[in-house]
Structure 1
Amino acid sequence: MTRPFACWHRALAIASLAATCLAQAQTYPNRPVHFVVPFAAGGGSDVMARLIAEPLSQRLGQPVIVENKPGANATIGADYVARSAPDGLNMLHTSPGPQITNPFLMAKLPYDPVKDLLPVARLGVFVNVLVVNPRLPVKNVAELVAYAKANPGKLSFASPGIGSGGHLAGEYLKRVAGIEIVHVPYKGTGAAIQDLVAGNVQLSLDSIAAFLPLIKSGQLRAIAVGHVQRSPSLPDVPTLAETFAGFDAAPMNYLAVRGGTPPEIVAQLNREVNVVLGAPVLRQRLLEMGVLVAPSTPDEIVRQVNSEREKWKRIIEASGVKVE
């Protein structure tokens, strides 16, 4: 009698769990929702999350509380959501790091990047731009590539740090252009920009928002956008994809939840986020930050994350970049 009783007990537990998940999905959200940002307050992702949180709370009928959990290349915040209950009450405002690039940059992660985090909705793309110090005698991509090939190892590119989006974008450019330029990592964007303007480094491929005032003042020269489409902020600047087909190094931000979250909750979150992103005032505010709004279905964002993971795996492994 012991084994039948045990089987019955397990079946009852499974049924109870299923009923609980169904009830949660039907009443979601019944408590405040936590919007976890794995970066410090004040950065682009944090500002974007706060712009989205207020209208999203109105749509969901519950407070959406932004929580900053920075550190370890965004893995601390990601791990927090990965260990939470699969009920949609803890959402991750993520960049490519936690699921797309960190698995290949870091020796070990505290969570499974595929199983423990489920992409829900694309939020936007932080469009980046390739800039050079004006003293460098190049005005377009072809001239830059020709100069770099004629002077191998003499040009250097700045980034906010090893494994950052700017670093990986530079490695991507080196690979497709077949050039050798030296990476110089800094502790943040501000220090990188300072040396770039001073001419201590010659180029960088990073956020339009960070560079735009300096481009407009003539302190930096924009020669290409690192996204597949031109930026409304720099409509006359060609894309790198116009020279290197398919080139896209613009970091995507998206919403993710704990793996195993009920499909009904995922669908509801995706629907409400897309409504919020459709507001013209919000879209314009994000555009001023260099962000192109790019809504998606849950299936589309999952496919894109998987595709991006494979792309950056190849680039990272070819470059040998590692984050300690």
Structure 2
Amino acid sequence: MIAGLLGQRIGQSVVSENRGGAGGTLAAAAVATAPADGYTLLYGTPGQLTILPILMSNLPYDADRDFDPVSLVSRGAYAIAVHPSVQAHTLPELIELARATPSGLPYATAGIGSGPHLAAELLTFMAQIRMTHVPYRGSALALNDVVGGQVPVSFDNFGSQLPLVRAGQLRALAITTSTRSGLMPDLPTISDTLPGYEVSAFGFIAVRSGTPKPIVDRLNDEIQIVLRDPAVEAHATPMGAVPSGTSSEEARRILRGESVKWRQVIQHAGIRL
């Protein structure tokens, strides 16, 4: 959606190339080694520049040195949900269930070091409970096993879980953002139970570092206009996302703040790839 509208704005084709693998590091590496001319953009998530650099010592790029953020483009939430058979209908009840499970209440995520994994570790730290991480190779596999009853608890993107919640296959307990979602206004936030808890799933656009500032500024200006297009909001809302543009400086500040936050969580939880 962003690529198409941005292309209309700048009068050039903007091609979206999905380059998967290694938690998004292959895509980031492609941008880090591209010419610094503004023609190759990274649509990224926090893992590529704030989480994996903490977990991996052999990344093919330097997260601080090789990228200039252009703008955040969206914000969303993760959610904690359970299989309908689980005897917990609220987050406080789930916390008590975890305390009554000395072996650690299992929860599924899309993988070690993923955003949902770290969001869950922050929850266990703040609630002072023990839960057992069950990592999968992707969100679809994790959700399938929670729906099937093999794992009782799911931590995943809210938008991915929402259809399953509406179909009665999962029961949502809370979302990770500090404010409730308009898609389910009655669904509490984790901060309603644990004040100060806040985790956002966000997307951003960056370019290779050294890209001339006038080009970064032009891209930022056009992206802000694109994000205000009603079609973008209509496309993002069903997925639980909110278009959220920023200045390039604000995007950099947010990414650096996420690095500090997750370094503390990773060190406390002893997470290793």
Q: TM-score scaled to structure 1, two decimals?
A: 0.81
Q: Tell me the CA shift for residue 200 of structure 1.
A: 1.6
1:214 aligns with 2:170: no
1:267 aligns with 2:217: yes
Match of 1:69 in 2: 19
Q: Tell me the CA shift for residue 196 of structure 1.
A: 0.7
State the SS of the aligned residue for 1:65: coil
Letter in 1 for 2:106: S
Separation of aligned partners in 2, 1:159 and 1:259: 32
Contact 1:105/1:163 (<8 A) preserved: yes
Match of 1:294 in 2: 244
Separation of aligned partners in 1, 2:133 and 2:23: 19
Separation of aligned partners in 2, 1:134 and 1:97: 30
Letter in 2 for 1:161: G
Match of 1:156 in 2: 106
For 1:178-193, what aligned pairs fall within 5 Å after superposition? 178-193=128-143
State the SS of the aligned residue for 2:59: coil
Separation of aligned partners in 2, 1:86 and 1:107: 25
Q: Tell me the CA shift for residue 183 of structure 1.
A: 0.6
The match for 2:68 among 115, 118, 121 is: 118
CA 154–113 in structure 1, closer or farther in 2 if over 3 Å, else same:
closer
1:169 aligns with 2:115: no
Query: What are the ranges of 5 or more consecutive residues in structure 1 without an aligned counterpart?
Result: 1-50
State the SS of the aligned residue for 1:227: coil
Q: Tell me the CA shift for residue 250 of structure 1.
A: 2.7
Separation of aligned partners in 2, 1:305 and 1:121: 11
| 1:57-77 Cα deviation digits (max 9, x unpaired) | 011111111122221221111
| 1:69-108 Cα deviation digits (max 9, x unpaired) | 2212211111111111211111000001221101111122
Q: Percent identity?
A: 38
1:53 aligns with 2:3: yes
The match for 1:253 among 199, 203, 206 is: 203
Match of 1:107 in 2: 57
State the SS of the aligned residue for 2:257: helix
Separation of aligned partners in 2, 1:119 and 1:126: 19
Q: Tell me the CA shift for residue 249 of structure 1.
A: 2.5
Match of 1:93 in 2: 43
Separation of aligned partners in 2, 1:263 and 1:248: 32
Q: Tell me the CA shift for residue 242 of structure 1.
A: 1.9
Bigger Cα displacement from structure 2, 134-143 vs 84-93: 134-143
Separation of aligned partners in 2, 1:303 and 1:210: 28
Separation of aligned partners in 2, 1:308 and 1:153: 31
Asked which structure has the greater RCO (Cα within 8 Å, sep 6+), the reply is 2
Name segments (4+ residues, structure 1) moved above 4 Å: none
State the SS of the aligned residue for 1:118: strand
Contact 1:56/1:273 (<8 A) preserved: yes
1:227 aligns with 2:177: yes
Contact 1:54/1:64 (<8 A) preserved: yes
Contact 1:152/1:179 (<8 A) preserved: no
Equivalent residues, number = 273
Q: Tell me the CA shift for residue 244 of structure 1.
A: 2.1
Separation of aligned partners in 2, 1:320 and 1:252: 24
Match of 1:143 in 2: 93
1:278 aligns with 2:247: no
State the SS of the aligned residue for 2:35: coil
Separation of aligned partners in 2, 1:256 and 1:245: 32
Query: What are the ranges of 5 or more consecutive residues in structure 2 without an aligned counterpart?
Result: none
Q: Tell me the CA shift for residue 258 of structure 1.
A: 0.6
Q: Tell me the CA shift for residue 226 of structure 1.
A: 1.1
Letter in 2 for 1:81: V
Which entry has the higher C-alpha Rg, 1 or 2? 1
Separation of aligned partners in 2, 1:163 and 1:231: 25
State the SS of the aligned residue for 1:67: coil
Letter in 2 for 1:197: V
